Amino acid sequence: MTLVDEYFMAEALREARKGLYSTHPNPRVGCVIARDGTVVARGYHAFAGGPHAEIKALRALPEGDARGATVYVTLEPCAHQGRTPPCADALVRARPQRVVVAMQDPNPQVAGRGIERLRAAGIEVSVGVLEAEARRLNAGFIKRMEQGLPWLRIKMAMSLDGRTALKNGLSQWITGPDARRDVQFLRARSSAVLSTARTVIDDDAALTVRLGADALDQQTPPRQPLRVILDAHAELTGSERLFEQSGDLLLVYAEGQTPTEALRERVRILPLPVDAEGRFDLRLLMQALADREINEIHSECGKTLAGALLRAGLADELQLYLAPSLLGDAARGAFDLGEIRIMSDRLSLDILEMRVIGQDIRITAQPN
C-alpha cells in the first residue's frame, strides 16, 4: 500500500458516500479509475438494481478502455449474477493493469471470488487499502452478512442531567432545531426506524424522513425507511399520525394477538413470541429484520426499549444529543438498565466523536 493508493482510494470512498442514503439494501460502493497520476473516471452505486460503481466508471471512459489504468474500488467487485451482471467480468474485459480493493466482500455469493477471477485473468490485485474506512461506511451490510444481524443505532435526546422527558411524558422539545434536523440525516441513511407504540402515542411521532433531495445531495426523492413499531399490547388504533405518512410500516405483535382488519389491510404484521412479562425476544426480532435485508436500524424509543437493547448486546452505536438544560430528578431517565450495585457492572462506552450541533452537543459512542 502506497500513499498514492491511499489518495485514490480516498477518492473512491468519497464517491461511495454519494450513495449513503439510497443504496439500501445494497452496500455503498465507489470507484475511480486513475492513469498517469490522474483520475480519468468516477462512479458510485446509487440504488439497488442500478449500475454498480465499476460499471459507471468504465462507462465514463472512451469505449470503456481501461488498459494501462488502475481501478480503485471500495468493495470487491461482484462475481455473481444478481440484479446486474458480474462486475469482475466487466473489469476482465476492460483489461486494467491493476485493481485496488479496499475490502473483500462479506457476501457469501462473492467472498473472494471476484478477486480470484481478476487474478486468474492476469490482472494484479491489491486488497486492504483504507479497509477500516470502507468497513465503517458499510457497517450494517457487513454485520448482516457476517452475523445475520443488522447494525443498530440508538438515538437519544436528553438534558445535561440525563433526562429524556418530564414525569408526565412531555419531551418536545428538549433539543434545538439544528439537532432535530441532524437526526433526519440519521433516519435517511437507515434501512429501518425502530420504536414502540408507547413512544408513537406519547410523541405523536411519524418517524419519517422530512428532508428533500437537495438536502441529501441526490437527484431522487428521499427513500423512506421501513418503520418498525413494537406493539405488544395492541395499543395502536390506526388513527395516529404515524399511519398518515408515506412509507412502509411493520407492526410487531405478540403471538396470538389479532390486529384489527383495518390495520391488517394497511400495514404488514410480524408476530413474535413474548415472555411472561410481555417482552419480545429482541434478538429474534433483529434476525427477522436481517432476513428482510435490513442493514442498518435507527432506534428512537424510550428508556425501556433502549435499555433492553443494550442489555441484550444488540446496540452497536449510540447517538446522544445533550441539550444545555436540566430537568431534575423527577423527570424520566434515558436507559433502563436495572439496578447496578457495583461499579464494575456499569456499561462502559467508547466515545468516538463529540460535535456541537446548534445549541446542543452530539456524542457518538459505542458500547465497550
Closest listed residue to residue 185, CA positions, set 51, 293, 349, 321: 321
Report residue 131: phi and psi, to 5°. -65, -40
Three-state SS for 224-285 is: CCEEEEECCCCCCCCCCHHHHCCCCEEEEEECCCCCCHHHHHHCEEEEECECCCCCECHHHH
Q: Strand 151-159 and strand 296-300: pairing?
A: parallel
Question: What type of residue is 64?
Answer: G
How far is the C-alpha of 70 from the C-alpha of 37, rounded, in Å?
10
Query: In the structure grid, which three cell numbers stand for residue 105, read together?
Result: 466482500
Q: Under a CB-based contact definition with an 8 Å cutoff, are residues 274 and 232 in contact? A: yes
Q: Under a CB-based contact definition with an 8 Å cutoff, are residues 66 and 94 in contact? A: yes
Query: In the structure grid, which three cell numbers stand for residue 202, read together?
Result: 406519547
- Catalytic one among 6, 11, 54, 133? 54
Q: What is the distance between the terminal CA atoms of the chain, rounded to a whole angstrom?
A: 31
261 included as an active-site residue = no
CA neighbours closer than 13 Å in the CB half-sphere of residue 76: 25
What are the beta bridge partners of residue 192?
226, 297
Task: Report the largest interatomic distance among the alpha carbons of the chain, rounded to a whole angstrom.
Answer: 69
User: Which three-class secondary structure state does DSSP give residue 129?
Assistant: coil
Active-site residue numbers? Answer: 54
